[in-house]
Amino acid sequence: MGSLRRIAVPSSIAKELLGRCREWSRGERPPAKVRMGGLVFGLQCIDERAVLVSESGSRFVVDEHAASLGERSMAVVGSTGFMGVAEAYRGSYYKLVPLPGGKPPTLEINGIHMHRVAGTDPWSDALAKASLVVKRGFRVLDTCTGLGYTSIAAIARGASLVYTVEVDEIVLQLAALNPWSHRLRDKRIRIILGDAVEVVRDFGDSAFDALIHDPPRFSKSTSSLYTLELYREFHRILRRGGRLFHYTGEPGRIRGLNLPGRVARLLREAGFEVLGFRRRALGLVAVKM
pLDDT of residue 23: 83
d(CA 130, CA 189): 14
C-alpha distances out from residue 224 to 94, 189, 219, 235, Å: 22, 25, 9, 16
User: What is the β-pairing status of strands 238-247 and 208-213?
Assistant: parallel
- Is residue 194 over pLDDT 50? yes
C-alpha distances out from residue 60 to 4, 13, 47, Å: 10, 13, 14
Q: What is the mean pLDDT of residues 152-158?
A: 98
Question: Of 3.40.50.150, 3.40.640.10, 3.10.20.600, 3.90.79.10, which CATH number belongs to 118-288?
Answer: 3.40.50.150
**pLDDT tens-digit profile of 37-52?**
889 999 999 887 999 9
pLDDT of residue 46: 87
DSSP label at residue 80: T
pLDDT of residue 177: 96
**pLDDT tens-digit profile of 217-238?**
888 888 999 999 999 999 999 9
Whether 139 and 160 have beta carbons less than 8 Å apart is answered as: yes
- Is residue 279 over pLDDT 80? yes
pTM (predicted TM-score): 0.93
pLDDT of residue 255: 59
β strands within 98-196, DSSP E: 106-109, 112-113, 139-142, 161-166, 189-193
Within 13 A of 79's CA, how many CA atoms are on the CB side? 6
Picking from 96, 92, 127, the residue whose alpha carbon sits closest to that of residue 212 is 127
- Is residue 151 over pLDDT 70? yes
pLDDT of residue 236: 98
- Is residue 113 over pLDDT 70? yes
d(CA 240, CA 233): 14
Q: Which residue has the higher pLDDT, 264 or 1?
A: 264
- Is residue 254 over pLDDT 50? no
pLDDT of residue 4: 78
For the chain, domain boundaries: 7-84, 118-288
Q: What is the crossing angle of helices 228-237 and 259-270, to 10°? A: 50
CA angle at 197 for the pair 192 and 200, rounded to the nearest 5°: 60
DSSP label at residue 267: H
